[in-house]
Structure 1
Amino acid sequence: MRIQRRRLVLGSLGLAATGLPALARANSWPDRPITFICPWPAGGTADMTMRALCGVAARSLGQTVVVENKAGASGMLGLKALATARPDGYTIGQIPISVTRFAQLGTVQLDPLKDLSFIARTSGQTFGIAVRADSPWTTLKDFVAAAKAAPGKLTYGSAGIGGATHVGMEEFALVAGIQLNHIPYKGGAPALQDLLGGQIDALADSSSWAPHVTSGKLRLLATWGDKRTHDFPDVPTLKDSGYDLVVDAPNGVGAPRGLDPAVHKRLREAFKVAAASPDFAAACSRIDAPLMYLDAPDYEKYVAHVYQKDTQLIERLKLRELLAKG
């Protein structure tokens, strides 16, 4: 009996000793700077808001959070680097919600529900349809009427095939019963320049058009959110214009799958504080982006819901065929 008790005690001590290094690592984390991968170019709207978010989170974590821009492939290049990093909490980053679509289309080799740890959903984007101020369309209904009169003739630019603005515009076209000629670009900036230069008729993009609408060079026909935006309260939403559609693409923060639960908890707490901070609210306000915070469990459920929705959209909009054409 004494021998059995001794074995049990030694076994317990062995298990405790085995767990000590992991516990010590979790308690001392972070003991060096954290890298935050932003999958968009420096100076863009996502980069600006993520830098503000990371600045506040760094204060909570007691370590610098270094933003590293890895742009390309509609945000998937940086996301792939995030998903394949070591799951030690020292590499985190922004998760574009379009991964739910691109993963199914095969343009990025990862499963968002298996390869990522979700930390927080943070904010949305303001999408809209803009035309030149000298165009004949003063309302969205004017634009739709012109598209119906000449199916496939009116052109619009987006940041690329399969992205949020392309899919959103095609959803709108489906609801409105029109056919448009999509011109894909490698980002919203060159599409905006071609709209200003008269090479395309319309632009579907996030708030890149905002300063040009304010200056009078462009006209904003509609925004795509559930509510009118703070900066453009006189511009109707798609729903206001009679089309039952809301398009958004909330940004979020995540890490590779397999984080230590204690590290994951620290990150969730830090980014919850950051998402509620005046600094982050001010950065979002500058680009008229809505705050859309969700904690990790609800954020993961949201991503799973969008994944299922995108499965249907891919078939309905024939996105695989469009990608094959290039």
Structure 2
Amino acid sequence: MTLLDEVIEQASDGDAASMLRKLMIVAHRLGADPLLAWVKAELNGYDDLNDIPDYRGPFTVNVQAVITGPGLSKGTSTLTKHGMPDGFDGLFELRFKDPLATLEGFAGSEDGIAVPWDPAIIGLYNGWIDEGRVPFIEYWGVYSAQKVFPQGALKGIVDVVRTKALELALDLQAQYPDAGEKDGPTVDNPDVRATVTTIVNNIYGPVTGLAQGHNVTQRVRVKAGDLGGALASARRFLDDRGLEQLRAVLVDDGDGEDKRSRVGKFIDAVKTGSVTLAAGVTTDLAAAGLLEVTTQFFGW
């Protein structure tokens, strides 16, 4: 049984963390850094909420509150964001950067997750009540409040990761059955690289981050077949001569195999410095960014 077989088996019915650890080995042996980064983030948690995939949020959630009124009366209510000032939608949203195993554990509980509002936020909301901004029972206020995320929705996040891992393993296995095995194929093969890039795009959606150093992130969004958009996105990586070289890669005729071959040769030329880049751009950053541009342009 290959590693991909084991990933497929556990993605269907097994321990999610164990599935991801096996997928980590596959990604490492492929030399697929973006894929490896996703697997590690799912295992260890995401460092930054801005880096999480769409399936981890933001989710609009209910806010359940304990409310108080005259004569020390108490009750419960569901709060609304109707009438709130702009910029406070996050009070009714949740995003999750926790390890997948943590979310899977909460998904097995009966109550799901409840995240309390900070007391300062409760005071702010009560101020909006006093100002008449938000509809509320007269002479009543909020004593405590919490965002509520149900058990079923948590299971949904875990199932999305399982499904993406399953699709990934099946796609790789269909084209490269020995992917992930010792001495198996790597992303040095342009076809393998294109396949893995397509998989990563499917995980994160059409917008992907390209890191330069530790703190700078550039983002690429290109619609399939949009030559002008592709060249505009590529301008951050290439000078005028390099853009003409890229244009030739994008518009030349040929079938899918010809196109993948042209892209692979072009990216290799970028890595070796044969393609002239924009000022201040490293070859690694340009190669990663232009691979995103070309694969999105061709719809891979």
Taking structure 1 as the reference length, what is the TM-score of the superposition? 0.25
Higher relative contact order (CA 8 A, sep 6+): 1
Q: Which has more helix, going by share of residues?
A: 2
Whose radius of gyration is greater, 1 or 2? 2
TM-score normalised by structure 2 residue count? 0.27
